[in-house]
Amino acid sequence: MIPPGYHEDPSVIQLHRAIGGYITTFSEMTALMRQMIGEYLAPVDDEFPRPNPLLNIVFATMTAKPISDSFFAMATAVGDLDETGGRIRNALKREVTHNISFRNDLAHADWSLGWVNADTNEPLPSAAYKIKSDEGVPRLTQLDLGTNDVIRQINRLNPLRTVLAAFAGTCRGIQRGESTSVADVLELHRSHPSETFEVRKR
């Protein structure tokens, strides 16, 4: 059961803050991609294009996945990416896709926070459940999510936003006739051969 005042429990407060922090940061990343789609559709001689109200009507029904797909497709179309630029784009898209999945888990999971045992009044650990496909069969699955997991993901998402903005801006610059390539600004890096490549600024 949920006891009175559970929302004052420090562990519950900490998890609420972590989830809110992640959702806010994720929304900023999505807003960046929407903004850049608008810029890619603007005339090349318009350095600071204003938001298009008609485009906002299109965005109104778009979730993060189609926004991401449109953003990366347009960036590829205008950015004249070479092989290295394409690999950088793929690494960025992989991270964005991972964060979309993570955000969906946070937003759509069934959470139990601050619950206590009805008989003993002992606190129960926080848990999150979501229906996921297991060998083609939808099953209610416990997600391995806690405060530290969310904070770790925030720490991955913040630098991703930075390099995504650099990638997006460089592609727009190429569209406008600038000579700086994506590979001039960003590079692929991994700390160990078994790890996937990450993108970082040069």
Q: Does residue 193 belong to any structural domain of this protein?
A: yes
Q: Does residue 130 belong to any structural domain of this protein?
A: no
What domain range includes position 175? 6-106+157-201
Q: What is the pLDDT of residue 5?
A: 60
Assign 3-class secondary structure to the chain.
CCCCCHHHCHHHHHHHHHHHHHHHHHHHHHHHHHHHHHHHCCCCCCCCCCCCHHHHHHHCCCCHHHHHHHHHHHHHHHHCCCHHHHHHHHHHHHHHHHHHHHHHHHHHCEEECCCECCCCCCECCCEEEEEEEECCEEEEEEECCCHHHHHHHHHHHHHHHHHHHHHHHHHHHHHCCCCCCHHHHEEEECCCCCCCCEEEEC
Q: Does residue 19 belong to any structural domain of this protein?
A: yes
Q: Does residue 111 belong to any structural domain of this protein?
A: no
Q: Which pair of structure tokens corresponds to residue 79?
A: 């950015």
Q: Does residue 150 belong to any structural domain of this protein?
A: no
Chain-centroid distance, C-alpha 89: 15
Q: Does residue 112 belong to any structural domain of this protein?
A: no
Closest to 188 in 3D by CA, of 92, 101, 109:
92
Amino acid at 188: L
Q: What is the pLDDT of residue 120?
A: 86
pLDDT tens digits in sequence order for the chain, 202 residues long: 555 566 677 778 888 899 999 999 999 999 999 999 999 999 999 989 998 888 889 898 899 999 999 999 999 999 999 999 999 999 999 999 999 999 999 999 988 877 777 888 887 778 898 988 888 888 888 888 888 999 999 999 999 999 999 999 999 999 999 999 999 999 999 877 777 889 999 9
The number of distinct structural domains making up the chain is: 1
Q: What is the pLDDT of residue 151?
A: 95
Q: Does residue 131 belong to any structural domain of this protein?
A: no
Q: What is the pLDDT of residue 2?
A: 58
What pTM was computed for the model? 0.87
Q: Does residue 115 belong to any structural domain of this protein?
A: no
